[in-house]
Chain A
Amino acid sequence: MLQRTIPMLILSASGLILILAYFSPVTVVWSDTVVGWFNILAGVAFVLGAGNLLAVNLEKISARRPGWAYAAITLASFGAMLVVGLGKWGAVPNPSFPDVHLAGDQDSTQSAYGWVYEYVLSPLTATMFAMLAFYVASAAFRAFRAKNIESILLLGTAFIILLAQVAAGAFLTNWIPEDRWYSFVRAEQLKEIILNVFQTSGMRAILIGIALGTAATSLRLILGIDRSALSKG
């Protein structure tokens, strides 16, 4: 009973305070407190996450399961970053507390943590992100197959937008005079019409639906109508 009721009450109170604070500035202090509690909770939960990471990877190594070497690399990297981050080697002294080593700043590459972040993590992240270009190409290839009316419309729209984005669009349609009624068929104007009229109206319709869905979901959770995200039971 308590396992459901107490989280439910906390959820309802927090939700109502956050809504109230949006309309009543005098209660912003309460919402700041709620957000502060969440941050504390997230900080504590991070220990759980780190513990889980250790447990899963140690188990994988000890059982010599397939890919255990990757688990070992993960743990070694985790340990190294933990030591480097907590040790704060090379941290830039804090102007307010120059004698306190732990108050130093690790953002710059002068610190070991900053160096690893800048020269190891960032390139790895950028590599993963760069792969997106290939995925976009393969997804576009599949999406733009003219299978039915909708696909043909999608293909045609994409073709116009792509054409208007490159010099070929201007090269092919610049001969159309700008001051005539049919000037809208110029590539750059067609692109503007598609983006500002069709795309914007569609996007706004989706956004209105999202806003209403968010409100209804919040209400279901705050009033306890939907408890599936809560405790056992």
Chain B
Amino acid sequence: MAVLFAMWIGASVVMADAVVAAGVTSAAAVAAAPMPPAAEDVLLEDVPEDAGGALSVRWRTPDPSVSAGAVIERRATDAERAKDPNLLWVEVARLGKDAVALQQSAHVLSELSNSEPTRVRVSIIGTDGELSEFVESEPLTPSVTIFSLSRLPLFIVVLVVSMAVLGWVVAARMGASTRIRRIAALEAVDEAVGRATEMGRTVLFVPGIQDMNDIQTIAGITVLGRVAKTAAEYDARLEVPTCRSIVMTAAREAVQSAHLAAGRPETYSEGNINYITDEQFGYVAYLSGQMTREKPAACFYMGAFYAESLVLAENGNSIGAIQIAGTAEPSQLPFFVAACDYTLIGEEFFAASAYLSGERDQLGSIKGQDVGKALAIGSILVGATLLTAGALLPDSVVGGRLGFLGNVIRAFFGG
């Protein structure tokens, strides 16, 4: 027994020694772990042309191979210190390895105060999680930009086009000619609705798959108003399945207004304008099924369309419907051109509502739009000519000046 007790004591002593030795080794290892080198050249820069709440922090990571990230702290604001006097620094970002993968690093801090200077400090996180010393930046106050100068050229263009549109609206009111070229697709609206009436079939109007915050949907709904008026006059049944709830509400308003304007409010039926689903291909499945079952005689596709454009147009084609499409999605235009009878291309789609209304004000606005087009054509021609001349006469003074002028025009339009 005594022998066993002595052995137990001996074993305990040996184990205790081992534990102490291990502890010493571990402590030595921790002490020996190299602290990551501190960040260098910590610099605060203002983010240009913003509302004044952002600064960019730049720093240099001396050795990315032993760095696992970075911690950025901001000096507490006066308001924060008023709440907690002990609060000096607030951690605003803890970045991962990617942030310090290169020697030059940067991070944008937002939601900063622009009423007092901001000071930040950066620490590098070592591969073992240890933080380096914090290095502070010089203080900087985010500046507020009232007007974005980089957008000045666009502002001027918008101003010129707007003035031209307004000028033509006023001129149209004063009796100036508002004759615009015939748009075949819009001339065919009466024909399409009339055909549906004669055949006793429905007219299908699809206002795209985007919400009311998309200008194409708004343009589609304005066209819907005109189509609905024609349908009301002809007593044709118009169906409008929608992909968004707000579009359904707006479409109901537009169609109801059209029935009132046509003097036939009693023929308006809210049940013909329904919400189907927000899901793109769920909507397509519904429309395909409806087309196949009900075989509408006329199909209108007016709005924003993506991959579903061809599915819809081909389904409509297969049932022999007259199809009129309009969209401002350039990638979908070829599909509509291939599968529909008439297609409103780009600007024609936006002019459709004004064209169908026949109102002088609206037709005048289309004329004003043409001033913008003339400006674009003129700028392209002059710019291309100047740049070509500059390229053809590379060694002459005249060539250099012409090329310079061409580049000025290109830069003005953001080229």
Residues of chain A having any CB pair with chain B under 8 Å: 19, 22-29, 35, 38, 41-42, 45-50, 52-53, 56, 66-67, 121, 124-125, 128-129, 131-132, 135-136, 138-140, 142-143, 203, 206-210, 212-221, 223, 225-226, 228-233
Given A206-B346, A216-B365, A219-B365, A228 and B52 touching (CB < 8 A)?
A: no
Classify chain B: how many residues form its interface, as a range: 35 or more
Is A48 within 8 A of B215, CB to CB?
A: no
In the complex the two chains form, is A216's CB within 8 Å of B368's CB? yes
Is B246 in contact with A45, judged by CB distance below 8 angstroms?
Answer: yes
Query: Could you tell me if A213 and B346 are in contact, using CB atoms closer than 8 angstroms?
Result: yes
User: Known: A206-B346, A225-B365. Contact between A24 and B353, CB under 8 A?
Assistant: no
Q: From residue B212, how far is it (CB to closest CB) to chain A in Å?
A: 8
Chain B residues near A35 (CB-CB < 8 A)? 213
**Complex: how many Å from CA A208 to CA B376?**
8
Answer yes or no: B36 CB below 8 A from chain A CBs: no
- Minimum Cβ distance to chain B for residue A80 (Å): 15
B383 shortest CB reach to chain A, Å: 13
In the complex, are the beta carbons of A136 and B254 less than 8 A apart? no
- Are A24 and B357 in contact, CB atoms less than 8 angstroms apart? no
Interface presence of B177 (CB below 8 A): no
Give min CB distance, B337 to chain A, whole Å.
8
Interface assignment of B91: CB less than 8 Å from any CB of chain A:
no
Q: Please name all residues of chain B whose beta carbon is closer than 8 Å to the beta carbon of A140 when the two chains form the complex.
A: 338
Known contacts A131-B311, A143-B338, A210-B328; decide if A48 and B248 are in contact (CB<8 Å). Answer: yes
20 new A-B contacts, CB < 8 A, other than A26-B145, A212-B372, A215-B161, are A23-B151, A24-B146, A28-B51, A42-B244, A45-B244, A49-B244, A56-B274, A128-B281, A128-B285, A132-B310, A132-B311, A209-B346, A210-B350, A213-B348, A213-B350, A219-B162, A220-B365, A228-B222, A228-B353, A229-B253
Q: Which of B260-276 contact A (CB under 8 A)?
A: 260, 271, 274-276
Given A213-B351, A216-B165, A221-B218, do A228 and B225 touch, yes or no (CB 8 Å)? Answer: yes
Bound-state CA distance A24–B27 (Å) is: 58
Cβ of B49 and Cβ of A142 under 8 Å apart? no
**CA A77 to CA B246, docked complex, whole Å:** 23
**Chain A proximity of B278: nearest CB distance (Å):** 8
Shortest beta-carbon distance from A88 to chain B in Å: 20
* Contact assessment for B357 and A226 in the assembled complex, using a CB-CB cutoff below 8 Å: yes
Assembly CA distance A208 to B157 (angstroms) = 12
Given that A23-B147, A135-B310, A226-B362 are known contacts, is A232 also in contact with B339, CB under 8 Å in the complex?
no
**Contact indicator per residue, chain B 356-380, by CB within 8 Å of chain A (1) or not (0):** 0100011001101100110010000
- Contact for A212 among B161, B253, B279, CB less than 8 A: B161
Contact present for B50 and A25 (CB under 8 Å): yes
Identify which of B146, B165, B333 contacts A26 (C-beta below 8 A): B146
Distance between B218 CB and nearest chain A CB, rounded to angstroms: 6
In the complex, chain B residues whose CB is within 8 Å of the CB of A212: 161, 347, 369, 372-373, 376
Q: Do A232 and B333 have beta carbons less than 8 Å apart?
A: no
Interface pairs A-B: 9 shortest CB-CB: A213-B350, A49-B245, A209-B347, A213-B347, A49-B275, A128-B281, A228-B225, A45-B245, A143-B338
**Chain B residues within an 8 Å CB radius of A42:** 211, 244-246
Say if the beta carbon of B86 comes within 8 Å of chain A.
Answer: no
